[in-house]
Amino acid sequence: MKSAPTPAMTAPRENPWEMALRQFNGAADHLPLKRGIRDFLVLPHRELTVNFPVQMDDGGVRIFTGYRVHHSTVLGPTKGGIRYATEVDLDEVRALAMWMTWKCALMHLPYGGAKGGVAVDPRDLSRAELEHLTRRYTTEISVVIGPQRDIPAPDVGTNDQIMAWIMDTYSMHAGHSVPAVVTGKPVSIGGSAGRREATGRGVMIAAREAAAHAGTTLRDARVVVQGFGNVGSVSAYLLHDQGARIVGLSDIYGAIQNPDGIDPRAALRHAQQHGRLEGFPGAEAINNSQLLELPCDMLVPAAIEGQITRANAARIKAKIVVEGANGPTTPDADEILNERGVLIVPDILANAGGVIVSYFEWVQDLSSLFWSEGEINERLEPIMVKAFRGVVRLAKEREVDLRTAALIYAVRRVADALMTRGIYP
Ligand code: NAD
C-alpha cells in the first residue's frame, strides 16, 4: 500500500481531470460527434461525495471524505477501482472514472467506467481503523454499487483484504453473500485465480507487443519500473521472466538502480520484509526523479498520475514507455515524447489486464463456476494482443499516436452504443 507525499510529489501536479479532458478532446476531434453527444460522452454521469465518521482506536471520531463517480453507463454496469490516498479528490476520481470508460470500451468489456476513493493515508491507520473506514465507506456508497450496477476493485492503497471487507459489508446489508459486488477479492471468497497478477501480466504482454512493433524483443532490454506495488512488482518480475534486465525500481520512499540488473523477486521479498525497497543489497540508492531519467530501453511508470511532465520529458531516455499506471504522462509530455519518437503504450491499453480479469472474476461469481489460472491467462492473452494490434492499425490509418488511436476507438464504440440505445425518454 502507498500514500504520503514524497518530495517529488509535492511539486504542484497537473489536474488529472484536465489531463483526461485534453486527451478526450484530442480524440473526439477525429470523430463526427454532435455537440450534445460529445458533452454527454465526456461528463461524468453521476458523482457521489460522502463525509463520514470513523471510530478511531484512541476513542476519538475522525471525519473522512470519500467519492464514487460513475462516468458512463452506456455499455453496461460501471467498473472501476477504489483508491485510498491523501491526494484523492473529486477531479482525480472523475479522471480515473473516465479512463475506465475508455479502457472497458477498448477491450470490448460490457462495462461503463467508474472510480472511487477516500482521502486518507492508509499507513496512518491501524488494521481495525482501516476496517471501520472501509465498512462505513461501503455503507455510504452502497446506494450506487451492486453486482448489476457498479462493481469496485482494488487500486492504489487498497488490496484484496479491503475488497473482502467491502464484499462482507454489502452482503450483510443484503442478507446473503454477494461475491459479484467487488472483484480483486481473495480466492477463498470468490476471487479469481490470476487476478492479483493480471494487471502486471497485461503490462508484460503490452511491453512484448510494443517491443515487437519497434523491431526488437524483451530479451536483454533494460527496463525501469516506477512504483513497486501490485502493478509495478508483478510487471517487473514477469518482464524479468521474459529476459528483460530490470535496471531501476522505485517506491514512494525512493529508488534503486543497478545497470547490471536487479532480481525483482528478491527485491519484492526485501520490500515485503522491510516495507520498502530502500536498503536492498546489490543496488545503489537514487531518488525518484533520477529513476525516470535512467538510461534504459523501456520505462514502465506504475505508480500514480502526472509523473512524466513537461519538466522531465526531454530527459527521459527510454525508447518505449508502457503505462502501467493510469495517467502517468501529461499531455504536454506526450507531445514532447511523440516528437522525440518515443513509443508510448497508453494506460487504457497497457494496464487493461486488471479489468479484463476482473470481468472474468465477475462472470465466474455470477455463474458460480470457477476457472483455473491457466484458463484465465489463456483468455487474457488474446484480448490484450488483439487490442494492441487494433490500436496500432488505427494509429497508422489515422496517422496519430497510439493514445489518440486507442481513444478514438473507445470513444467511437461508446458513441455508437449511445446512438443505438437512443436518448431517453
Ligand atoms: P499499489 O498501492 O499496490 O502500489 C503503488 C506503488 O506506487 C507503491 O509501491 C507506492 O510506494 C508507489 N508510489 C506511489 N507514489 C509514488 C511516487 N510518487 N513515486 C514512486 N513510487 C510511488 O497500487 P497499484 O494497484 O499497483 O496501482 C498503481 C497504478 O496502476 C495506479 O495508477 C493504478 O490506478 C494503476 N492500475 C492498477 C490496477 C490494479 O489492478 N491494481 C489496474 C490498472 C491500473
With a Cβ cut-off of 6 Å, ligand 1 is lined by 1-2, 6, 8-9, 154-157, 199, 226-232, 250-252, 288, 302-304, 324-326, 351, 354
Q: Quote the Cα angle for 137-59-175, to 5°.
A: 35
Counting as low any pLDDT under 50, the low residues of the chain are: 1-10
Query: What pLDDT is recorded for position 3?
Result: 40
Nearest protein CA to atom 42 of ligand 1, as residue: 354
CA 227 to ligand 1: nearest atom: 7
Of 192, 237, 251, the residue with max ligand 1 atoms within 8 A of its CB, to mutate for a pocket test, comes to 251
| Secondary-structure percent of the chain, ordered helix, strand, coil, rounded to 5 | 50, 15, 35
SS (H, E, C) 316-330: CCCCEEECCCCCCEC
**Predicted pLDDT at 13:** 81
Q: Which three cell numbers stand for residue 315?
A: 530527459
List, in order, residues 6 or more apart from 369 with CB less than 8 Å away. Answer: none
Report whether 75 contacts 112 (CB < 8 A): yes
pLDDT the model gives residue 11: 53
Tally of CB atoms within 10 A around 150 = 23
Q: What is the CA radius of gyration of the chain?
A: 20
Which residue lies with its CA nearest to atom 43 of ligand 1? 351
Catalytic residue among 2, 79, 115, 185: 115
Per DSSP bridges, beta strands 78-85 and 112-119 are parallel
With contact defined as beta carbons under 8 Å apart, do 1 and 123 qualify? yes
pLDDT at residue 27, as a whole number: 98
Q: Which residues contact 382 (CB under 8 A, 6 or more apart)?
A: none
- Per-residue confidence (pLDDT) for residue 5, from 0 to 100: 39
- Classify the C-alpha dihedral 250-159-202-351 as positive or negative: negative
Q: Which of 83, 162, 199 has most ligand 1 atoms within 8 Å of its beta carbon, as the pocket-test mutant? A: 199
Q: What separation in Å is there between the alpha carbon of 83 and the centre of ligand 1? A: 10
- Establish whether 115 is a catalytic residue: yes
Rounded to the nearest 10 degrees, the angle between the axes of helix 16-28 and helix 331-339 is: 50
Cβ count within 10 A of residue 346: 29
pLDDT of residue 4: 39
- For the question of whether the overall pTM of this predicted structure is more than 0.85, the answer is yes
| Paired sense of beta strands 222-226 and 112-119, if any | unpaired
Separation of CA 302 and ligand 1 centre (Å) = 5
Check: CB of residue 312 under 8 Å from CB of residue 294. Answer: no
Note the pLDDT tens digit of each residue in 46-62. Answer: 999 999 999 999 999 99
195-213 and 230-241 helices cross at what angle (nearest 10)?
50
